[in-house]
Structures are given as structure tokens and as C-alpha cells.
Chains A and B, each alone.
Chain A
Amino acid sequence: MKHPFHEPGGIYVHVPFCVRKCAYCDFCSEDDRSRIPAYLNALVKEIGGARPPSGLAFDTLYFGGGTPSVLAPEEIGRILAAVRRRLPLLPGAEITIEANPGTLAPGALGELRRLGVNRINIGIQSFSDARLRFLGRIHSAKAGRGAVRRARAAGFDNIGLDLIYGLPGETASDWRAEMRSAAALGPEHLSCYMLTYEPETPLARRLARGDFAPLDEARVGRRYRDTVRFLADRGFVQYEVSNFARSEAVQSRHNRKYWNFAPYLGFGPSAHSFIPPERWWNEAPLGRYLKHSASERSPAAERETVGYGQQIIEAVYLGLRQTRGIIVADFEARFGLDFKGTFGRVLAELRRKGWLDTSDAARCALTPAGMLFLDGIASMFVAVDFPDAPPA
């Protein structure tokens, strides 16, 4: 059967190891690195058994985690080779690695470049040692700066930095100073995440115990709006809730696939795959993933067929996360629905509140003020009684 893939797919590799898990992190990762060899074997086996749909080529590969940079470059190389053996990775593909400044051994960056890794996303998070400690990061602010300079020196011309804001006690000028420091390092890309207290994380437990008072919502909201303005003034254009890039060319090609119904394959524990309309995700944590691998069982824990109505929900939510919004003509062609007819009442309400960007009728996008209420707005769209199956 032919698959109507409009665009190349993405490949995600999950590396579930960290030197130490951060206090806010709820991703699949662990500190015990003795299992790296077992993990690599299982991963390479999984990649070797991948059966991509015919006609699908890939133009992104993303090493996420965990901390992929805890792996030695030759280990990354082994994974890359396995990928290239099994999956058609197009020339010019974006190959990203997430890195922790505390794990970049001298020489590693050059090695990664030589292996073909052409984008690096460095988890700086903050330029304040006190805040880094609060977050449970293993590195200092100085190490963060150093990592960026060394990446540049190693030849990386597409560098992204992650920052976190909305920490307890953080003032507007604290946060501006953070952004200023980040911009001064000259990255191509910035991801600025408001601190989220994920359930079951050490940070959430400390919050529940009353160890500190969280920054109040109104302030977090103001930081968000400030971020958009401040970074725009410095040449970083927001393209998604938390993502900013110096130009369209250096937006994360890989991450955009998640928001635009593109196919992707994920490998490693907890990794998600999506070959529309099928989505599945792997066993986690690592131990379970390894067990499945050892007993020749599929690493997939669960799968779902994303139905028509569910696709509408995802298209709306993920579309609105992006500043370009939902492309109305694409939406209508895909779902056979009149967008304005279906969501007219919601659109009118959003317009009244100044949350709808009305500059381009071909797109349904939120204003920066609206973006701050994205989840509630998506819920308004979703509450509309649209059909559950395609119109006959």
C-alpha cells in the first residue's frame, strides 16, 4: 500500500541516562550508567528491526533524553550507523543532539561534528548558580557558557539553548538578565520553558511540603509576555509557545514534525512513533524496555489509531501552539469541514477578547496574549460539536 506522505519523516532516539536526574524532570532517565552497553545493544536491535512504510524517507534525527551527551561519541556513532543502515536518512538531514554542559568532554564536540551531528541543543537552563542548584542541575553557569563557546569552536553553526523561567522569587529583571546572557552567546535557537511542577518529581514534592513558594501565576504570565517581546527585539522570532529562532531555517525541523502531523519513528524506552493514523510508544523505564528486548518481544507498550475526531483535536491544539497557527485551507481539505462554520462561535469570542490574530485570514492563529491561555482556548475549540467521522 502506498502511503501519501507529504513530507519526510523524523527519527527520535531516546537516551535514558543522566549523570543525575534534575529535580523538575519527569522524563524517562536514570543515573545508573552501567546499563549503557545493554541499552545500546537493545537499541541497535530495535533500529535494525524497524519497518518504515515504503516511500517514507527521513530528514531529521534527534537524540533526546535523558542526556544523550553522556554517551561517548563512538556510541552515538554506532547508533547513527544503525539508523543509516536501516532507514533512508536524506542528505542534508537535521541531526540534533541534546547536551548537558556538564557532560561535554573535550574533543567530544568535534567528534560529533565529524559523525554528522549538525545541530546541538544545550541545556543551559540558567546563568545563575543558585538557580541551577535549585533545579538540581549538575553544572555551573560558567560551564554552560563554556559549552556554548566550545560547540561554536567545534564548528556547530546551529546551536540551541534551553532556559527555564518562572522560578520561585524570580523578578522580571532576573529573567531579562538570563535572556540577555543567552542572547549574548549568539545561539541560533532558544527554547524558554516556564517551570512546570510535574507530579512525582522531587521539585513537586518540595513544593507540596511547602519548602518554597512558587512564583505566582500572574507573574509567570507576565514573564511569558516579556519573553516574547524581549527576544523579538533581539532577533529571535517565536514560532511555538516555548520556541524562538533567528530565522525560519534554524527552527527545529524535527520538533515541527510533532506539531504538523508528520510521521516519525521513535527508538529507545518511552519513545513515541507516529505513522498516521497509528501512534505507538515504547515500554519504559529502561528495565522493562530491556526485558522486552531480551525476550524478543516488541518494545511497544501501547498503540492507538488516532481517529478522525481525535485528529481534529490534535490539529487544533498543535496548530494553535505555533505562531503561524492552523492553516485554514489545509485543515478544510484534510477534514472536509468548513473551519469558520464549525468554530465560528469560538472564533468570535476569541476576537472579542483580542486573542485571535486577525492579520491573515488564511490562518487561524493566536495573539501573544491568547497564546498564554492556549490550553483553555483549545478546550473551547474541542467543546464544539464537530463530527466524529468524516462527512460522507
Chain B
Amino acid sequence: MKNIRNFSIIAHIDHGKSTLSDRLIERTEIISQRDFKDQILDSMDIERERGITIKSQTVCLPYKAKDGNAYFLNLIDTPGHVDFSYEVSRALASCEGAFLLVDASQGAEAQTLANLYLAMEHDLEVIPVINKIDLPSADVERVKEQIEEDLGLESERAILTSAKEGIGIEEVLEAAVQYLPPPEGDPDAPLRALIFDSNYDPFRGTIVHFRVFDGRIKAGDTIQFMSNNATYKVEEVGIFQIVRVPRKELAAGEVGYMIAGIKTVSDTSCGDTITLKKNRCDAPMPGFRESKPVVFSSIYPVASDDYEDLAAGLEKLKLNDSALIYEKDSSVALGFGFRCGFLGLLHLEVVQERLEREYDLSLILTAPSVQYELTLNDGEVLVIDNPALYPDPSTIESAREPYIRAAIIVPDRYMGAVMKLCLDRRGINRNYQYLTRDRLEMIFEIPLAEVIYDFYDKLKSVTQGYGSFDYDIIDFRETDLVKLDILINGERVDALSQLVHSERAVARGRRACEKLKEEIPRQMYKIAIQGAIGAKIVSRTTISPFRKDVTAKCYGGDISRKRKLLEKQKKGKKRMKMVGQVEIPQSAFLSVLKTED
């Protein structure tokens, strides 16, 4: 065990985690340069494009250190977004150490700090790495100062790297050997292994990723998940070296995978403990929590005959994404679809993009909603996340909505702007503290409903990109809800309804009408858009019809251009939904939630 090191790299988005991981893998030569796709750990296209890792991958790096000994360095990858903080925590729980990556020009950000706190909760040895030192804007001294003051780490231990230029890679590997503690545990005790991830392989079923804390696991064992007592027979265990490499057994301290005839990833839970059926360990690993979706939206195909394809697409995605939940839903305006639950808005967007890209579907998503708790007059408690299921208001005794604790780190010159943004979102400022002379951590309690749509974008814009944000859900609090409906040419469009705080309703209704006016293209008829609460109209706008729509000149040089325009419109129409006589573009359904420009 003394030759094993288990560690993660923790960083804010874009601070270069994937590039550094790639360089470490390259350096240890488990894969030939030729096969090496840049940023091999972020294997999905969408992740690659957005530069964030959602589905983590782990890799076991053989390394011969300067002390002459051979080591196995297990680099456990962590998802890089606030939506996935529980998954991050399980990955960290599987490590003894972590490299905290800080961008030499950006400095520490809210996520860096949140991840550092997580690492500290797990008693990890943390080594700071200052990356991107090749950038002209790099300010190593300032970042060192931040590392000391903001983060409370020893800056003289900081490793200077440029993952892009391949600088400092050797030093990172050496530091892992020298400064990170080897794992502890008893290989002869009953099996106790922590699941930190799983993925789906179409040929082998679910691949469970875990860290063994005590005992051993090998093919032929009958294992048990301690959360639900489900048992499986192990077919194969092994380690990750970009490809899966089977091993006879994995013992305490090691990190690897198991294949055990598990059909879908939903049959496993991140954070669960694996033990042997016949020789159970005393207690599971601490901190198990079922990951619960917090954002809900309905997904409909634009073309109703794509419903079956959508169903098939969701089923396949679900194989690899245990956090995604869905059930059948239907809408008067949009036909048949699915009500889906997501860990957050990024998760929602990723699912949408994957369905559209990988399954070639054109989709409409309704305005995302949080889950509300309603107590009815008869004492019954109802949990709803779908405006369509909102009961007659006269039957509701009280309503509660989820709140988050938001930690926002900004240069102090933006304090006022952030304060205004959060207060506008019904936030309560709980605390703020200076991390350094001019950087501030502000703590707010904000209704989740107020942050799910465009809060992060707004925060970025009011802080000119300097603000960073992390959150936890804390509790449910009393609220005053109403259902805001949208009528188009007098017809109530159920898919545009949303549940909003009563004080916000009129402003929201007005805003929704304006947004829809921008989103819905002019047509040959006048289109009236109204916002309504119950029978009361609270806002209205009109889209005036075309009074003429004809190109004056069309000769030899104009024909191809005109045809291309018509082809483009044809494509666009495939992404529109007819509601009565009105063509509503896909984007309109989400626009009703936008607050302001």
C-alpha cells in the first residue's frame, strides 16, 4: 500500500485541470502519443466543448519516482460544476490527497474555495499548483499571497506549472509521491469499498468505479450494496488505464472498477458502500446521500411523431446518468413528452444537448421549476414541480419553497452590484468576509427558484466575469405562490405557465410577454400575448402582423440566395410549434423565465 497514492485535482472551471491531467497521463506513458486525444479525460463532445467534466474518469498511472521505487498514482477525476458537488465529495472521499489548481492570472475563485473546503472536510493533504504561468497576465506572487491568505495553505510548497507548455509536470508527480500520504486500511478485514462513480458500457452493463478501504474484491465474489442490500456476482475487477485493465483482485488502498451484471447505472448509487454478502463489514462509509434532482422541466419533441425516439433517447441516457429522472407527461399545447428532474440547470442543458445531438431530436423544454411543498386545507401535503398540476388556489393552506445557501466570491468593488442582484432575487445576506484586502466572500440565502435560470450568467455580467458562485440547498421556507399563465390569441398555453412568488407575478408576467414578443416571429396575423393569474389579465403585448412580405427584385443573381433563405426557414419551422395559428419557436418556451437583459 505504501506505493499507492490516491488523489484528485481540484480546480475552478477553465483553470486547466483537464490539460494537466492529460500531461500527467502522457508523462507516465500508459498510452501512446498517437492515440492521445487532447484532454482525454473529458471524453464526451459536449464536455469537451464546454470545457467541463461531468462524467468523471479515473486513471491509474504507473510512475517510477526519483527515490527509485515504482508507484501507482491513482488520479481520480472530479466533475467540475456546482450541480455535481455531491459527486465531487465522493471522489474526494476516495483520496488521501489533492492538488489544488489555481490559474496564475485568475487566482482562486468560489469553486476553488468550495472544493478546498470539501478537501479539508475529508482531511486531504492539499498541495497548491499554480498553473498557466506562461500567460503574460500570470501574477504568481499575487496568487501565492492568495494561497497563503485566502486558502490558508503554505505557498512555498506550491508547484508552478504550465500544463499547456508541459512545464512542472514531473514536479507534480514527485510531489504526489513525496507529500501525499499512502492509503491506510486492512486488506484482511471485511470488504469496504466506496462507489464514487459509474458508467454504462453497452456490452458489459454498468461499470462501477470504487475505492477499496478495507478487504479485497475479486471475480466470483458475491457483493452487496449496503444502501439497499442488492447483491451481485462480480464478473471482473480491474484498474483504469484509459482502457479497463482486468486484475485478479483489488485490495485495500486500490482504486478500480467492477463489472457485476448490473443493468443500469441507476441500480448503483454514488456514495454507496460495497461489501461482501457473506462477510459484511460493520458499517458503511459515512456520508451516503441519494442525489436528488432539484430542477424540473418537461421535454417535448417538436414533431409529435418523434415521441418514441425521445423515449428511447432518455432511456439510453439514463443508463449512464443516475441523476436524471423522468416520467411521462402531456400538454395540451405540446402533446406527449416527459417530465424530467435534473441536478441543476447545467445538467438540464447537457441532457438537452445530448438528446438533440446524439438522437437527432428537436426538443422543446418548458420553463424549469423547483419543487414546491403545498399543504392543502384538508392537511394533505403535496409536492409539485409542474405548474400543470398546481391545484385550485382556494384549496391551498400554505406553500413552501427550497432555499439555497449561496457563497459568492468577488473583488470588493462589485459588492454593491452583487448585493443588488441577490436582493432582487429575494436573497437574504447572511454574512460577508474579506478573504484578502480586496476580495470578499458573500453568503446569501436565496430561493432556489430565483437562481435556476440565469442567475449565474447575471452574476458573471454584473461582476464583469470576476464573480464566482457555489451553493448548497439548505431548507424549505414558507412562500406565497401563484400560477402565472400565458395566453396566446386568447388560448392558454399550458407549457408556458410558471409558478412564481406573488410579489413577482405582475412583473414576471410583463417580462414574459415582452420576451415572447421578441421570440415569436411576426406572422401574417396579429398575435396577442397575455399574462394571466387566474382570470385576471396582468400583462399584454401584441405582435403586429406583416403588412407586406415580398422581395421586390428577384433576378439571376438573387435566386440562389433566396432559395437558401427559404431552406433555412424550412429548417427553422421544424423547430417551431404551432399553437393554434401561431408558430412558436423552441427558444420562446425558455425565454419566459428570463428576467432582464
List the interface of chain A (C-beta within 8 A of B).
12, 193-194, 196, 216-218, 220-221, 224, 241-242, 255, 258-259, 264, 266, 270-272, 274, 279, 281, 304, 306, 310, 313-314, 317-318, 321, 353, 371-376, 378-379, 382-383
Q: What 11 additional pairs, Cβ within 8 angstroms, besides A259-B554, A373-B549?
A: A218-B547, A221-B548, A224-B550, A241-B552, A304-B560, A313-B567, A314-B559, A317-B566, A372-B548, A374-B550, A382-B570
Q: Which of A241, A259, A270, A383 contacts B557 (CB 8 A)?
A: A270
Complex formed: what's the CA distance from A23 to B173 in Å? 67
A383/B569 contact (C-beta < 8 A), A314-B559, A317-B563 known: yes
Q: Kindly state whether residue B555 has any CB partner on chain A within 8 Å.
A: yes
Q: Kindly state whether residue B546 has any CB partner on chain A within 8 Å.
A: yes
Q: Are A258 and B554 in contact (CB under 8 A)?
A: yes
Q: Which of A258, A313, A321, A372 contacts B566 (CB 8 A)?
A: A313
Complex formed: what's the CA distance from A218 to B566 in Å? 24
Complex formed: what's the CA distance from A238 to B523 in Å? 26
Q: Are B555 and A375 in contact (CB under 8 A)?
A: no
Q: Are B557 and A272 in contact (CB under 8 A)?
A: yes
Q: Which of A193, A271, A379 contacts B552 (CB 8 A)?
A: A193
Q: Are B548 and A318 in contact (CB under 8 A)?
A: no
A382/B566 contact (C-beta < 8 A), A12-B556, A271-B556, A376-B524 known: yes
Q: Are B567 and A382 in contact (CB under 8 A)?
A: yes
Q: Are B556 and A274 in contact (CB under 8 A)?
A: yes
Q: Kindly state whether residue B562 has any CB partner on chain A within 8 Å.
A: yes
Complex formed: what's the CA distance from A274 to B563 in Å? 14
Q: Are B566 and A379 in contact (CB under 8 A)?
A: yes
Q: Which of B547, B551, B570 contacts A375 (CB 8 A)?
A: B551
Chain A residue nearest to B574 in the complex (CB):
A383
Count contacts on B: residues with CB < 8 A to the other chain: 23
Residues from chain A with a CB closer than 8 A to the CB of B551 are 196, 241, 374-375
Q: Are B547 and A221 in contact (CB under 8 A)?
A: yes
Determine how close the nearest CB of chain A comes to the CB of B68; give it in whole angstroms. Answer: 65
Complex formed: what's the CA distance from A256 to B230 in Å? 77
Determine how close the nearest CB of chain A comes to the CB of B480; give it in whole angstroms. Answer: 44
Residues from chain A with a CB closer than 8 A to the CB of B547 are 216-218, 220-221
Q: Are B563 and A313 in contact (CB under 8 A)?
A: yes
Q: Kindly state whether residue B553 has any CB partner on chain A within 8 Å.
A: yes
7 contacts between A and B (CB under 8 A): A194-B550, A217-B548, A224-B548, A258-B556, A304-B560, A317-B563, A372-B548
Q: Are A272 and B556 in contact (CB under 8 A)?
A: yes
Complex formed: what's the CA distance from A221 to B567 in Å? 26
List the 6 shortest-distance A-B pairs measured between CB atoms, nearest first. A221-B548, A217-B547, A218-B547, A272-B556, A374-B550, A221-B547
Q: Kindly state whether residue B218 has any CB partner on chain A within 8 Å.
A: no
Residues from chain B with a CB closer than 8 A to the CB of A264 are 556
Residues from chain B with a CB closer than 8 A to the CB of A259 are 554
Complex formed: what's the CA distance from A306 to B547 in Å? 32
Q: Which of B524, B555, B557, B569 contacts A382 (CB 8 A)?
A: B569
A318/B549 contact (C-beta < 8 A), A310-B563, A382-B570, A383-B570 known: no
Q: Kindly state whether residue B439 has any CB partner on chain A within 8 Å.
A: no
Complex formed: what's the CA distance from A271 to B547 in Å? 33
Q: Are B562 and A374 in contact (CB under 8 A)?
A: no
Chain B residue nearest to A264 in the complex (CB):
B556
Q: Are B573 and A383 in contact (CB under 8 A)?
A: yes
A373/B524 contact (C-beta < 8 A), A221-B547, A314-B563, A317-B566 known: yes
